[in-house]
Chains A and B, each alone.
Chain A
Amino acid sequence: MAENDNVSWEAIAGNSKFIELKNKKRNFLFSWWIVSTIYYLLLPVISGYFPETFNVKVIGPINFGYLFILSQFVVAIGVAAYYAHVANKDFDRLTKQLIDALK
């Protein structure tokens, strides 16, 4: 506790580097979260209300429904990989710069 008293949270919160980091993060996280959630909810919506769409055969007996479920896997992994890429590249760098600047 004693050590924490030395940290001025308000000062850091007002630091321009921190604000940049925070805004970048928020915009990225929430927009990708919302987009991927919409794509995810398309699955129960299409399969439940427009099942005939799922029945369209694409390759032999493999239909759109099966491929659409697989695409959910691809999208989830894709979003996660992209997030990891941006976080490793931008967020971690900005965080490090901020911490260095505070020293």
Chain B
Amino acid sequence: MKNKIAALTIAVSLCVSPLVFAAAAPAVGTAAAAPAASIAAPAKSAPAAATAKAAEAPAAKVTPNRGITIGMFAIIIAVTMGVVVWAAKKTQTAADFYTAGGGITGFQNGWAIAGDYMSAASFLGMSGLISLYGIDGFMYAVGPMFSFIAILLVIAEPCRNAGKYTLGDILSFRSSPKIVRGVAALSTVTVSIFYLIAQMVGAGKLMQMLLGIPYRVSVIGVGALMVAYVVFGGMKATTWVQIIKASLLMGATTVLCILVAAKAGFNPVTFFTDIVNSSAIQEHVRMNVLKDVVPKDGFNYGQRFLEPGLFLKSPLDQISLGIAWALGAAGLPHILMRFFTVPSAKEARKSIIIALFLNSSFFFMISIIGFGAALYLTPQSILAVDKGGNMATLLLAQHMGGGAGSLGGDIFLAFICAVAFATILAVVSGLVLAASAAIAHDVYVNIIKDGKADQHLQVKVARVTSLFVGTSAILMGLAAEKENVVALVALAFAVAASGNFPVIMLSLFWKKFNTAGIVSGLVVGTVVALSLVVVSPVMTYPKKVAADARKVVETLEKKVAGGAVLTDKEAKTLEKSKVDYEKNKDGTSMVGLDKPIFPLKNPGIVSVPLGFLAAVIGCLLFRDRRAEEMFAEIDVRQNTGIGIAKASDH
């Protein structure tokens, strides 16, 4: 029965998807202004000068060859659906569903974890930032890469040894299981849903920008595939989709990076000398970034591109983001869950080493691609397509393949688009699985059913929950089209770093830790992180939007007053800015503010210490002798892995 349903899904998605894509044909080129990637808000902070410049430039856009691109999308859908059918046959028990029965090797899991890190944000967003702001963009690579150290040293092996399926399993060892599981599930669902909505909105915008597929169609299409992967294939399918995507992405990145390096004769000094001497880059840094209308005497604007501070202006914010990365990634439930899919701590260790190696290579290559895009395409032409620079990788692929319109360029661009599509699919599936596991395993099986549910029922509940979570994600993605999703990613990381990470650490390593500590740590960490983000500069402040719109209106009206005739595009911009101004001039942010109260975009530097503090204070206020006595068990388990095989009937 199950197989029939899975087969039907393939048939339906194979037939329907290309049709839906094709039906959306005429809309190509409505270059969406919002960044597809969610790494930062480059579009918003792009200098006004750049905006004006982009407006003057001819309407540039990425134009993938629809036929080839849709063909490649279909291949990816077909292959991944094949994986789902295969995985569905092997998914019989709850352990199969949540952890692929522990049957993933360290090597495979390393690729899957690496895949979780290679999101559209890093693949498209980071290279774009580098192509526009030089070395500042490259600094973004260090946080994700370094986060593996915390995971490797203090999280992966202990969690593999002591855990089972979810965050709740690790935390509920020596505490009141129902309360702790409830809070842990709530935190898991919060983090995963925030991240998920951001990815869904990114997916919709990306497909809209690349192929002109309407936003709603892409969100529903991506959502339907994601639900099919998780509901039928569980962790096994989710892992393999992630592995396939990671290999495609690594392959594409390697080829592109080698092509760029070959152009510079594989000599880094030549490469960077060319960048410094590029007149386009010099002009971009001078006019668009630093806005020196009159060049400063003797100032080397090309070298400035390789120096920090063009994009990142607030050191404190950088430190705060650094903390969020270093600890937050270790507290993300969908990453945590991957350690349970390998059979032993040794394999968990191996998987992190492999993931670290893959991701370091990936981020390094992305930096070469970003600099290469600046050098060979010029920042001006990247800005003309997208203000956030998100199209840099795609444009470079097209250029390296032989240029727009050439067969090589079309194929390479189509391939990169298809990889970007696969990337989104793989990342969202892992998130749906993590959120579903928290609801089905922690809330339903362990809280409602007291852990008394047979395998058949557990799998059924897990599938129904995934369907529910996936559908909710689609609906929320549709509703959030116009929302500022950058804040959601900041939120997910802040909550993971301030709520989840402290309580995981303390549960594993501190004898006195107990229920009260877990609850107060999770609640305070989450609430503080949430409240700080809500009043931080990442939210949208209508009065600021109005002020920006007003500036554009004034500039353009001055131009008209000076006797100049506006181009069509400028006239449209003027109209739009007037509307924006009227719409926003009396507005306030979501919580009724005119401007941010908290100065940093990332709350980590405040919320992480508070999360730890709350966990410690809560625990010491309500001492629990039983929890202290039971520390021996978790201590032995997490250090040695004794009892790991019996974890299945725990």
Contact = CB atoms under 8 A, between A and B. Distances in A.
Given A47-B318, A77-B360, A83 B152 contact: yes
Given A47-B308, A55-B307, A80-B353, 9 more contacts: A9-B635, A12-B642, A40-B142, A41-B323, A43-B142, A47-B312, A62-B269, A76-B145, A87-B157
Contacts of A41: 319, 322-323
B315 A49 contact: yes
Nearest to A25: B639
A16 interface: no
Interface in A22-47: 22, 25-26, 29-30, 32-33, 36-37, 40-41, 43-45, 47
Nearest to B145: A76
Given A66-B306, A69-B138, A77-B356, A13 B153 contact: no
Interface of B: 135, 138-139, 141-142, 145-146, 148-150, 152-154, 157, 268-269, 272-273, 275-276, 302-303, 306-309, 312, 314-316, 318-319, 321-323, 326, 346, 349-350, 352-353, 356-357, 360, 363-364, 509, 630, 632-633, 635-637, 639-643, 646, 649-650
Contacts of A102: 642
Given A1-B650, A65-B135, A76 B632 contact: no
B269 A99 contact: no
A25 B321 CA distance: 29
B353 A1 contact: no
Contacts of A3: 646, 649
B180 to A, nearest CB: 19
Interface in A68-93: 69-70, 72-73, 76-77, 79-81, 83-84, 87-88, 92
Interface residues of A, number: 56
Interface of A: 1, 3-4, 7, 9-10, 12-13, 18, 21-22, 25-26, 29-30, 32-33, 36-37, 40-41, 43-45, 47-49, 51, 54-55, 57, 59-63, 65-66, 69-70, 72-73, 76-77, 79-81, 83-84, 87-88, 92, 95, 98-99, 102
Contact of A13 (B268, B308, B635): B635
Contacts of A92: 346
Contacts of B633: 9
A73 B154 contact: no
B372 to A, nearest CB: 15
B607 to A, nearest CB: 17
Closest 3 CB pairs of A and B: A48-B315, A44-B318, A13-B632
Contacts of B349: 83-84, 87
Contacts of A18: 636, 639-640
